[in-house]
Structure 1
Amino acid sequence: MLFRVFTVLAHKNNYNLIRLPFSNILNRNQNHFSKHFKLINLRHFSESKPFYYSEIVETIPTNSTEKTPQIPPQIHYGKLFFDNIYPLKIGSFDFRHYFVRSNIPRLERKVKSGKWIPLESIMPYNFKVEGVIPRKKEGGMLLEFSYQVDPSQKTKALDEISKLVNDHLVEHNVVPWFNPRPQKAYIVKGKPFVEDLSLYPSSRLRVEFQGPDVSIKSLYPIFRPYGLMRHIFLMPSSSKETPRYATIIYKKMRSATSARYCVDGISINSTKFDIFYETPLKTNVFFNWVASHPRISGPIIAAILAGISYIIFDPIRIFLIESNITQRFDIKEYKIYEIYKWLKKETYERFKNQDVKLEEDTLAWKEREQEEEILKKWLSEPPETFIIVSGPNGSGKSKFINRAIHNKKKKIIIKCDQIRISHNENEFVLKLAKQVGYKPMFFSLIYLSNLIDGLASAVTGQKTVGFSSTTDSEIEKILDALEIALYNIAPDVFKAKVNSSRKSDLYAEHIYQSYDPEDIPVLIIDSFISKNAQENMELWDHLAQMAARLVEKKIAHVVFESSVTGIVRHLSKFLPSKTFNIITLSDAPFERSISLVKKNVKGTDGVSLEGLESSVQALGGRFSYLSLFIDKIRGGKKPSEALNELVARAKIEILKLAFGDNTEDAKSIPWSDIQFWAIMKRLASNGILSFEEIKSSPFFKDDDTSIREMEDADLILIVQSDDKITSTIKPGNQLYRVAFQQICSVELFKANMELKTNKYLYNFMFDKIKKYEEELQSLGKSLVRQDGKWLWVLGNDNQVPITIKERVDFLLDRIHKCHIKNAKYQEEIDKWKKVIEISGKNIEKKEQLT
């Protein structure tokens, strides 16, 4: 430290010139000083240059009896580290530091007021507090202080100061609220590295040696005063890693933080210590055992998680499903919603340009009203069997069901068509859960469990160890919860019947007379089974199994809505002993269709309705097409233009579904192009076709699989006669017949399909001729022609048996007829080849002209 001093001139006697701090001069005896010395006027020195002062210490002459004076004490600086001032910050998530303050002026006032150290006036060696440095991360505080002592007594002075401070802490029993351990103070022996990095304290210290290695025996007494140590690891001498280091493990983390700040930077035998925290590799006996025995721990953990889910989350999920069924939280079920609708109608909607909505109520013609009453009657009775509402796409099945259950208090609808449109399995399950009301869903935990199962399977070699959750199991959980919820809200008399199955039928009739039909829950499964029934098979099977249990236990009505004709065959596997209640919806008759259209296009300005009836007759009674037709007329199109647009769209649909976009696409279609062409051209001309006739034709060979696939694709419709013995084939809808006619009228397309058809028939007959000829050859081996006669070589009299002769005559006749047919087929082949050639040239000419 640089001291400003001034010069004092000596007296006549002999004196020595010694530099001393200014404070020492002030503390000297002023009388003695003025007696022997004369001060120089300091005003003569420049203020801009440093100057010195000197004290002339009187030196005793050799003949004097006075003693030689002692060297005065010097100022030194030190640091104390106080432990347990703050909570240790063990990670970024540790929030205890929000409840403590680290204001430096406040800390200095507390220190000087005697909270952690004695007052400065009591402390020896002219002890003074110079400042404080809070260390919240390490849970401590650095106290900087100064003191005066002879350099040779420095160690003794520091020990005395440390003892006084610790005695003060013990005497005042300074214990923080966050840790019952008393506070301690340690003298900082080195030069600690004070940082604000994201390095959290640890009970392990890494002591790096900047110099030769230090032995464990030398390290122990240096680090032991700060706490009990578990172990000291010294780097092997054979290791070439630099810098070399030792690892010290303390029993407590606070011991490590104290040692880190008090010993960091000291030098032992020319070796400097650099100390850092070392994050330990955490191990746990329990987790090690779990990881080492997955075949045992896996099922146990899975059972524990399942138990927690069953106790905590399953009741919540069932309650939410019940609320979804009963519309407990649906505002539309309360009177306040009616008030809201009235206010909206009388305020907002008066100033809004309202679009004219299609009056769908007119679709409820008399035939539907009768069927609706039948469905309502079935729903008011106790559940006995499945209710199936079938019909082609666009025939209004969903709206028909919604009208029938409008006043039902307890209902739930599962829309399978929305569930099927999913990008992955998680989305598939999520959509089903959302429709049912199954909450909460922990997809992150499901994904994590599948990941753990995959890793465990890779380690153990087994396919599964009990963690994984498949789509099938998730669907089963959701539907099981739905079944429990339906059971809970079912009428009590139904549950009494289930719980007392031994009661007589008379008792059952009695209890069924005491329920409200509106209280019977109704489950609607909309769009059940897709066209390709093999897709999402686990969903169809689980829904059917749950529905069968609900009906058998008489818990709820189950209504299936589907446009797939094979629905009855599929459901029969799950309820084989019951006959189903089936309602089949068809297209509206012409009178109802034209009435619907006229009512909804009435008042359309600037649009000609010429040809409306003929267009509606060609369009048919399919409600989806009628809605589009009405929208187009409202948009300003004429009826004929609207019809042509719908026919054009239908033609594109037919060509894509029936023939495919390309060769690769056609391979995936479950019928051949000539099979559909054989049906389409007959329906285009006649509108109806015998099912048995086309089935027995060479195109199908008595196999109706392809015909059924066409029906599932809604291209055709198979209608049974009243006697349930014969069937007929019709277009999938009336609009498709118009599209069939227009497709068949395309000359080039027709020629191409007829060419393929005749080639197929030609090959078919050729194969039959070949088969007949092979049989003749086998018979000819038993015949020998001699003297213009055929002799039977296998008989004794060489006479040809009558049966053989008749068989030969039959084969020859069949070959002759096949040849005649093939001749016709060949003529057709040549004819259509010419048509294709001419059509191609005409197209080329048109292209050249354009």
Structure 2
Amino acid sequence: MYCKHLQSISILFEGRLLQGSAKAALRQPRPTVRYGQITRRPAANEAGERKTGHISIGHNEGILFFNSLLPFNLQWAYRALWSLQRRSPILRYEAKMEDVGAVSPAKVVESATKDGSLGQIEVVEILPRLKEGGAFVKFRHDANVDNQTVSEAVRSQLKQNPIRPWWNPLSHVSVRLVIGKPWIEDLFRFPSQRLMVEFLPAYPGIEAAELSQEQLYSLFRPYGRLSEVVKQPSDSKVSPRYAYLDYSRPRKAVMAKNCLHGYQVPHDQGGGSHGTVLRITYAKKERFGFIKDWILNHPRIFFPLLAALIAGISIVIFDPLRTLSIRAHISRAFHIEDNTVFRWFRRQSEDLINRVKQLSGRDASEGGMRVLWDDRKNEIDQIRAWLMESTDTFIVVQGPRGSGKRELVVDHALAHKQEAHRLLVFDCKPVQEARGDANTIAAAANQVGYRPVFSWINNISGLLDLAAQGVTGMKAGFSETLETQLVKIYTNTAAALKQIALEDRRKDDKDANLGDDEYLEQHPERRPVVVIDNFLHKNSEPGAQMVYDKLAEWAAQLTTSNIAHVVFLTNDISFTKSLSKALPDRVFRQITLADCSPEVAKRYVINHLDFDAEPSKTKKDDDGNEEEVPELTPSQKRQDLSELDMVIGQLGGRLTDLEFLARRIKAGETPTKAVKEIIDQSSSEILKMFLMSGAEDRKWSSQQAWTLIRKLAEKEMIPYNEAVMATPFSSESDKALAALEQAELISVQSVNGRPYSVKPGKPVYQPAFKQLVEDRVLAAKMDLALLGDAIKGENQTIEKCEQELHLLGELPKQPGELAGRVEYLLAKVRKSHVAIDGFERETTNLKKILTTEY
């Protein structure tokens, strides 16, 4: 289909598409066509006669070249025809060229010679030049007429009756006599306005003369206006010698090339004693070459200018789009849930949707959460009250993982902001867990709706910067660091938040005379709220501190500029260290969420069971009146819920554990069995994550974790210093305890910024610790590892004391002052030896347990 479309270009000459294939047409015999007294034998070969690339000229024969017969700007079509090898042999039948194309060359020759003054003129053949938009016309004349006379007659005819193509009325068909020996090729070469003229000798073994600029001008100027004549440099060793001629228009270059190629310049025109043959080819003119030269010669200026240009384009074009995208993300402009039609359908099928939610269990925890929100109503009211104040400070909600921080803040305390589309939730977890700068940038942009984001360009820019540094010795500034990219995202987000805060402002307001900053300070209820969730998530990993520092600085800018309120949700109790850098002179408003009390935990589980209970049924009594018959709730039907009072204390008040317990009870398990299963699962997690041999990059040892487990199994809380001074902990005990706290095995309580106690990371870990310690085989294995470390430490102490005693014994005279030191060392050796004896006895007992029990 595409080939047929390309083939249809030939209609400019033929008037209609050729019937049948091109090969079938070539096999047809060539008819003789007469125009009055003019007879011609048509040919449709673009490679010359018999594909030789030349046109043979006999006695009384000449060649004319007609220009502007085809549209010259359809080179893309000619290239496609060339690549597909489907070029149709057009100009096949001259009788079909009367009403199509620009003009029929044979008709022009007939009109110019119809008066008979030139005798009989016969058109022998026509060779088309598709890519040059013209055709060669070979003609035969009488002996008393020369070629130049015929050419002038045809030119005079076209001058008196100019033919202007319909596709370009400003141009006209022109004709010139071919005085050279044209090379008719069908190579993949296309015309240009620059010609390369090479000077060749007329005979082998002689030297060709190089024509001067004046001689070249006199030869080529008749075919069109020249813009430049460039001679070959005198010191160039390239042979044969050549020159470049630039025409003002490509069609003029086409005419000159086809008429003068192979022309032998005589002596009187500068061709030397034996003459010089001109070989003319199209040369591609280098455009914008001065730009390339300027780039290569001035890289220290170009690369910084290019970087500044890219930055300017980004600011002018992309930054407004990104700000608009962030604003649409916050206002949920493209969310289908907020669409009017979607909301109408949702209202119509609200009962069905609620029923589907209940069956799927997606909202099954809402009933239990109501108890929790009733218990935490004071915290919800406190957060709402803080949002009505104009103080520029942070609100921090801190609590362990699974305590319901996000649900408390987003779904309840900020429900009115969410409905008004003035709430932005930034989750730090996907940003921190992203690997690589590009993924981190994309994750941060996704949290705020920053689009378009070209995070992958940063990698390419780094390579360009490296290349520029290799060329110029200095970086060009293409690549931007992760810190710079994050600042850009936060800056655009701040601009979008300010637009949202001011979007309801009107000119007729009573405080319309106030500036934007003053208006926002006077109306804190207009400011949107930014919730930063999972703040300081995996804070110990490399590079995390920079991300959180920039986030805290951005939050400080939002609050101090009265653009938005900022609420931090974090599990880390050391959040003050990061936030104090951003707002060193502010006191944070803090709410700490603890685990639920046993009473609230029990109500949570019961309400969770009764959430999707069937409503009360109605029935008619003997008098025909309807009365409601209350149905027993699932919790009332269960006879084993009395066990909750005994086991709820073991489980604690962590929301995730309570929900897990409620689902197990709802599945048919008894509370005692469900709690036991949860404790067993917690024990397995602790054993796998903290006691088994794990990754080599862990910042704690199994012996350190086991020491804390054994101590916390006896008491729910131990002093912090007691844990630090335990045997397995060394001088870097603080780092090991911090790593165990980050892994949520323990929870470190602080007062006035100083750690003072250590508790289990989750309430359910307390019975799990007891279960692990009561496992004799596991306890024997872990205690054996502890005793091994203890024996190793005592042996090192003895070795150090022996080395010092040996050093003192080598002295030639024993001073009396060293007697106390020797006694001290000997006592220390004795003490360590006694300890090792005790450890060895314990080791023997533990090995006996390991060999007899399993």
Offset from partner CA, 1:207-239 (integer Å, 9 cap, x none) = 698984865449957766544362365999977
TM-aligned CA deviation for residue 320 of structure 1: 3.2
Partner SS for 1:527: strand
User: Residues of 2 paired with 1:479 and 1:586: CA distance?
Assistant: 32
Q: Is the 8 A contact 2:197 2:245 kept in 1?
A: no
- Aligned partner letter, 2:369: L
Is 1:460 the counterpart of 2:464? The answer is no
Aligned to 1:149: 141
Is 1:557 the counterpart of 2:565? The answer is yes
What pairs up with 1:519-558 in 2 under 5 angstroms?
519-531=526-538, 532-558=540-566
Structure 1 length as normaliser, TM-score? 0.72
TM-aligned CA deviation for residue 714 of structure 1: 1.1
Q: 2:792 aligns with which of 757, 763, 766?
A: 763
Partner SS for 2:747: strand
Partner SS for 2:584: coil
User: Residues of 1 paired with 2:65 and 2:759: CA distance?
Assistant: 101
Q: Is the 8 A contact 2:193 2:252 kept in 1?
A: no
Q: Which moved more, 1:102-111 or 1:751-760?
A: 102-111
- Aligned partner letter, 2:152: E
Is 1:694 the counterpart of 2:686? The answer is no
- Aligned partner letter, 1:482: T
Q: Alpha carbons of 1:679 and 1:120: their partners in 2 closer, same or farther (altered >3 Å)?
A: same
TM-aligned CA deviation for residue 468 of structure 1: 2.1
TM-aligned CA deviation for residue 172 of structure 1: 3.3
Partner SS for 1:588: coil
Q: Alpha carbons of 1:625 and 1:216: their partners in 2 closer, same or farther (altered >3 Å)?
A: farther
Partner SS for 1:426: helix
Q: Alpha carbons of 1:176 and 1:647: their partners in 2 closer, same or farther (altered >3 Å)?
A: farther
User: Residues of 2 paired with 1:655 and 1:495: CA distance?
Assistant: 67
Is 1:255 the counterpart of 2:246? The answer is no
Partner SS for 1:523: strand
Aligned to 1:709: 739
Q: 2:686 aligns with which of 654, 657, 667?
A: 654
Partner SS for 1:109: coil
Q: List gaps (5 residues or longer) in structure 1.
A: 1-20, 28-72, 96-101, 501-507, 786-791, 795-799, 843-850
User: Residues of 1 paired with 2:282 and 2:682: CA distance?
Assistant: 76
Aligned to 2:495: 484
Aligned to 1:474: 485
User: Residues of 1 paired with 2:79 and 2:609: CA distance?
Assistant: 70
Is 1:167 the counterpart of 2:159? The answer is yes
Q: Alpha carbons of 1:724 and 1:216: their partners in 2 closer, same or farther (altered >3 Å)?
A: closer
Q: 1:368 aligns with which of 376, 379, 382?
A: 376
- Aligned partner letter, 2:531: I
Q: Is the 8 A contact 1:609 1:638 kept in 2?
A: no
Partner SS for 2:113: coil
Q: Is the 8 A contact 2:549 2:578 kept in 1?
A: no
Aligned to 2:113: 123
Aligned to 2:229: 230
User: Residues of 1 paired with 2:569 and 2:339: CA distance?
Assistant: 29
- Aligned partner letter, 1:525: I
What pairs up with 1:167-206 in 2 under 5 angstroms?
167-168=159-160, 172=162, 174=164, 183-187=173-177, 190=181, 192-193=183-184, 195=186, 197=188, 201=192, 203-205=194-196
Q: Alpha carbons of 1:318 and 1:152: their partners in 2 closer, same or farther (altered >3 Å)?
A: same
User: Residues of 1 paired with 2:449 and 2:849: CA distance?
Assistant: 63
TM-aligned CA deviation for residue 738 of structure 1: 4.4
What pairs up with 1:739-818 in 2 under 5 angstroms?
739-768=768-797, 793=816, 816-818=830-832
Aligned to 1:345: 350
- Aligned partner letter, 1:81: F
User: Residues of 2 paired with 1:436 and 1:24: CA distance?
Assistant: 79
What pairs up with 1:103-114 in 2 under 5 angstroms?
108-110=98-100
TM-aligned CA deviation for residue 543 of structure 1: 0.9
Q: Alpha carbons of 1:555 and 1:164: their partners in 2 closer, same or farther (altered >3 Å)?
A: same
User: Residues of 2 paired with 1:660 and 1:222: CA distance?
Assistant: 95
Q: Alpha carbons of 1:256 and 1:318: their partners in 2 closer, same or farther (altered >3 Å)?
A: same
Aligned to 1:847: none
Offset from partner CA, 1:49-91 (integer Å, 9 cap, x none) = xxxxxxxxxxxxxxxxxxxxxxxx9996855331385243577
Q: Which moved more, 1:815-824 or 1:470-479?
A: 815-824
Q: Is the 8 A contact 2:777 2:850 kept in 1?
A: yes
Partner SS for 1:564: coil
Q: 1:405 aligns with which of 394, 403, 414?
A: 414
Structure 2 length as normaliser, TM-score? 0.72
Q: Alpha carbons of 1:543 and 1:118: their partners in 2 closer, same or farther (altered >3 Å)?
A: same
Is 1:321 the counterpart of 2:326? The answer is yes
Partner SS for 1:81: strand
Offset from partner CA, 1:542-583 (integer Å, 9 cap, x none) = 111111222223322111112123222121122111111112
User: Residues of 1 paired with 2:356 and 2:189: CA distance?
Assistant: 62
Q: Alpha carbons of 1:235 and 1:141: their partners in 2 closer, same or farther (altered >3 Å)?
A: farther
Q: Alpha carbons of 1:23 and 1:750: their partners in 2 closer, same or farther (altered >3 Å)?
A: closer
Offset from partner CA, 1:184-221 (integer Å, 9 cap, x none) = 33345645545484857462448698984865449957
User: Residues of 2 paired with 1:191 and 1:251: CA distance?
Assistant: 19
TM-aligned CA deviation for residue 490 of structure 1: 3.5
Q: Alpha carbons of 1:149 and 1:775: their partners in 2 closer, same or farther (altered >3 Å)?
A: closer
Q: Alpha carbons of 1:755 and 1:585: their partners in 2 closer, same or farther (altered >3 Å)?
A: same
Q: 1:676 aligns with which of 682, 705, 715?
A: 705
Offset from partner CA, 1:336-392 (integer Å, 9 cap, x none) = 553231134367888999413343333242332221111111122114211111222
Partner SS for 1:734: coil
User: Residues of 1 paired with 2:713 and 2:165: CA distance?
Assistant: 99
Q: Is the 8 A contact 2:198 2:243 kept in 1?
A: yes
Is 1:378 the counterpart of 2:386? The answer is yes
Instruction: Give RMSD over aligned pairs.
Output: 5.0
What pairs up with 1:92-111 in 2 under 5 angstroms?
108-110=98-100
Is 1:305 the counterpart of 2:310? The answer is yes
Partner SS for 1:729: strand
Q: Is the 8 A contact 2:469 2:476 kept in 1?
A: yes
Q: Alpha carbons of 1:784 and 1:631: their partners in 2 closer, same or farther (altered >3 Å)?
A: same
What pairs up with 1:406-421 in 2 under 5 angstroms?
406-408=415-417, 409=420, 410-421=422-433
Aligned to 2:836: 822
Offset from partner CA, 1:613-671 (integer Å, 9 cap, x none) = 36765444333344445556666777677667655654554345435654xx23x1112
Q: Alpha carbons of 1:669 and 1:177: their partners in 2 closer, same or farther (altered >3 Å)?
A: same
Q: Percent identity?
A: 25
Partner SS for 1:120: helix
What pairs up with 1:281-292 in 2 under 5 angstroms?
282=287, 284-292=289-297
Aligned to 1:845: none
Q: Which moved more, 1:424-433 or 1:187-196?
A: 187-196
Q: 1:736 aligns with which of 743, 762, 765?
A: 765
Is 1:438 the counterpart of 2:438? The answer is no
Q: Alpha carbons of 1:89 and 1:259: their partners in 2 closer, same or farther (altered >3 Å)?
A: farther
Partner SS for 2:582: coil
